[in-house]
Structures are given as structure tokens and as C-alpha cells.
Amino acid sequence: MRLVFLGPPGAGKGTHAQILVEDYEVPQISTGDMLREAIRRGTPTGKKAQECMDKGMLVPDDVVIALVKERLGHDDAHKGFILDGFPRTPDQGASLDAMLAELGMPLDMVCYFKTSQATVVRRLSGRWICSQCGKNYNVVNFRPKTAGICDTCGAKLIQRPDDQEETIKKRLAIYEEQTAPLIGYYRNKGILAEVSGDLEVKPLDAAIRMAFSARTAGKAN
């Protein structure tokens, strides 16, 4: 399984990547998580990323590409991966294609979460993440068993600064301008599958699995 999850912030990409990695035993490679770890450690990359993220802006390509390339070299990514949050632009998509071709790891499918703005704002304003392991939760459709506490590691849940409403709107505007063109890019390559990001967790999970099964069955034939 080598997938890219494409869609606006709040579409459910991170949540569904977490669900699938347990069943398919491949890593979720989240550029957001990698960048936040760099920020936590106070690295030069992290400081550069922090300034952009606080303003609701995209992190520069060279920073993200360097992180992704390093992560794909880890042993656990050799049999597959789910990329969440990368690529964000057609240029990054082309860079990713070249990188994967060099590694002999072409994408199986790009899953596009088509999601309304109302859903995005509602979900992001209710999103919380684990301060320790980074797991995503949402008061709307993916609540922890104990309020404010991570189910996995027991650490405290926090809300990210970039999940405030005004920053959300800026992020959506940037997405429409820079990331949405990836839909056509991957559709032209013949590997795009579209699902509704407005669906709740269980029906959306079923739709993703059905799309992946159809894709792999088509390749087998």
C-alpha cells in the first residue's frame, strides 16, 4: 500500500491514515507531525516552519521535501506508506514522483477527500491532538474515551494554534490556490480516487477501502 491522502485541512486525512496503518501495517508519514517534532526540538527547520504555520502559511518546499525523503528511507516504509500532508502543490507532486521512481516505490493511489468548507471549519475548531504521540481526536466525530486524555498513551490533549477559525480560513484559501490543482495532476496520471470527506468516520473508512480494493484489482487485471 503506497497512498497519498489529498484534501483540505480537516478532511479527515490524519484520522483515516491512523485507522489504516493498523490494518495494513505500513507507516503514516505525516509532514505535519515531522514538522511539529522539528519545532519541538527547536531545530533550524523547526523554527522556520513555526513562523509559517503560525501565520497559516505553507512551509517551503525544500524543508518538506528534505524531511519526506529522509523518512521514506526508513525500513518500515519499504513495504508501503500513507503520505498525509504531502505533496501540497503540483511541483511537490512532480518531485515526489521523481523520488519514488528513483526508489522503485511508485504510488498505488491518491485518495482525494472532497470536503465542504462548513465541514472543515466545524471539524478543525473541535480538533485536539495528543501532546505526546500526536494522535488526532475530534469532539465532533472522533472523541477520546476520556475527555482530554489520549487513548493510546494517556498524555494530555491540546488544541493547535492553527486550528483557530481565522487561521483555518487562511489555510483553506491557500489550499484552494496551491493544493487543489493537484486533483487534476493526479487525475491525469490515472491514479486519483475521490471520496466524500463530509462522511462520518465509519462510512468514509469503508469508501477508502473500497476505492483501494478497486484500484489494486484493476492493476492485477
Provide CB contacts within 8 A for 92, sequence distance 6+.
Answer: 61, 64, 65, 86
Q: Are 126 and 142 in contact (CB under 8 A)?
A: no
24 closest CA partner among 43, 46, 47, 3? 3
SS3 42: coil
Q: Which residues are catalytic?
A: 13, 88, 127, 160, 171
Identify the three-state secondary structure at position 158. Answer: strand
**How many whole angstroms separate alpha carbon 40 and alpha carbon 47?**
9
Q: Is 87 exposed, middle or buried (0-12, 13-18, 19+ CB in 10 A)?
A: buried
Cβ density class 93-115: b for 16+ within 10 Å, e for less: bebbbeebeeeebebbbbbbbeb
How is residue 77 annotated by DSSP? G
Q: In angstroms, rounded to a whole number, what is the distance separating the alpha carbons of residues 121 and 171?
A: 11
